[in-house]
Amino acid sequence: CYNVFHDPDGPGGQPAGSGVFHKYLVSQVDLVDNVAGSTTETWTYTYPGSPGWAYQDNMLYARGTGDQTWNQWRGYSAVTTQHGSGATTSTRYFRGMSGDHNADGSTKTVNLTDFRDQTWQDYPSLAGQVLSTRTYDTDGTELASTASQYWSNTTVDGPGFHNAVMV
């Protein structure tokens, strides 16, 4: 669940206020062939760890003022996918949590570790990018792995975290 400040009916009868909304995760996808009758393919998804929620960094308000709260969904840092009873793929993602606002006014420093045990800072400009991917056979043998490395350059230093960054 997450809290959002909204106006349910727009300008008019109901006053604006906070509402609680739900997030639903995909746990399984079935590909069904209704024409030729081929075997159904199934993908299952698991999300280890806890989801990330970032503080709303609205450039129209100073931090900690207005109706800002921790309502920016940043997802999970890892997703594990299994195709049928075969290979399992584990993908780790950047979520952009480093520099997020804490309740006491300080900011977080968040680091991620790839499968090679290298540490990377979770910069906001990298949110949603793949950190590393590993694929395993049913017996746990590694079949393939990929590690991503990004270069970034801040081209414009904007207010707060609203920088123009080339990745």
Confidence of residue 166 (pLDDT cuts 50, 70, 90): confident
Which residues lie below 8 Å from residue 54, measured CB to CB, with a gap of 6+? 70, 72, 74, 95, 96, 97, 100, 101
Residue 129 pLDDT exceeds 80: yes
Number of neighbours of residue 112 by Cβ within 10 angstroms: 20
What does the pLDDT read at residue 24?
87
* 84 pLDDT higher than 70: yes
Q: Give Cβ neighbours of residue 9 (< 8 Å, ≥ 6 apart).
A: none
Note the pLDDT tens digit of each residue in 108-123: 899 999 988 999 999 9
Question: Residue 133's pLDDT is what?
Answer: 96
pLDDT tens for each residue of 5-35: 666 666 666 677 766 667 889 999 999 999 9
